Amino acid sequence: MSELISELDAAGMHPPVGPVDATHGILLYLEGVSVSFDGFKAIDNLSLYIGDGELRCIIGPNGAGKTTMMDIITGKTKPDTGRVFFGQTIDLLKLDEPAIARAGIGRKFQRPTVIEPLTVLENLELAMSGAKRLRGLMTTRLSGEECDRIAAVLDRIGLTEHGGRLAGILAHGQKQWLEIGMLLMQEPRLLLVDEPVAGMTPAEMDRTAELLRSLAGSHSVVVVEHDMGFVRSIADQVTVLHQGRVLAEGRLDELQEDPTVIEVYLGAGDAYH
């Protein structure tokens, strides 16, 4: 009971997590991570390092473990073995989803997930960092500084004119941007972006690529994508996952020459544009 009360203590709404320490140039460590469902190894002794400010693309055939890997990083799935660290000090396996989000990891889902009955502005306000304690929630007003932050993000995702519209009536591509905008409101260090351009027109894809490239440097960005053209347009480093392991890592044009990669993935043909 005392645990229950202390956990609920309003001041302790989230456990204290220090700032991210990326002094060695690496922001995310996955080391020897394995997880299996019903005997099926979804992730098999996976090791992966994401550099500070890096933009990394992850590709791989269906069932390669891309989404499961994101689930592990964001705390939705706990691995059977392995270590997952955010910077030098933050052990992500000890945190739950909200705590990981607050530590500075934002995640965009495969299907665009915005809160449709709320306006674009309200969606961004919802995602704003620093307002998630109980006291912060019991208000109906925005401070001037908060308004400025929202305006900046609106501008960045190109939805300034749509601030008052309901998220539900946005076009598909705009919802994807809004979701990325919501991640930005969280002020994360690491963005995990799952299939950002699925269903987008070529023009929308170009804008998305531009947006993601502009985020790299100040943020680390991990993009899971099937569309090779899009991958080529944004990433310098590409990781190929296959059967829960890292099959190869390198520049896309190098990988396209790699016979093993061609065999398991690119050889399949349909995914290669």
Residues that bind another protein (CB under 8 A): 4, 8, 13-14, 37-38, 40, 74, 76, 97-99, 101-102, 106-107, 109, 113-118, 122, 125-127, 129, 131-132, 134, 136-140, 182, 186
Min dist CB 264 to another protein, Å, is 21
Looking at beta carbons only, is 8 or 171 nearer to another protein? 8
Looking at beta carbons only, is 13 or 26 nearer to another protein? 13
Q: What is the DSSP letter of 169?
A: G
Tokens of 258: 């790699």
Contact 91/103 with Cβ under 8 angstroms? no
Our CA angle for 158, 163, 164, nearest 5°, is 155
Looking at beta carbons only, is 13 or 151 nearer to another protein? 13
Min dist CB 9 to another protein, Å, is 11
Handedness of CA 8, 11, 13, 16 (dihedral sign): negative
- Close Cβ partners of 252 (under 8 Å, ≥ 6 residues apart): 57, 228, 231, 232, 235, 238
How far is Cα 6 from Cα 8, in angstroms, rounded to an integer? 5
Looking at beta carbons only, is 54 or 125 nearer to another protein? 125
Looking at beta carbons only, is 11 or 137 nearer to another protein? 137
**Burial class of 231 by CB neighbour count within 10 A (0 to 12, 13 to 18, 19+):** buried
Min dist CB 118 to another protein, Å, is 6
Min dist CB 105 to another protein, Å, is 9
Min dist CB 149 to another protein, Å, is 14
Strand order in the sheet with 40-51: 40-51, 26-37, 81-86, 90-91
Looking at beta carbons only, is 186 or 208 nearer to another protein? 186
How far is Cα 204 from Cα 187, in angstroms, rounded to an integer? 24
Strand partners, 242: 245
Min dist CB 178 to another protein, Å, is 12
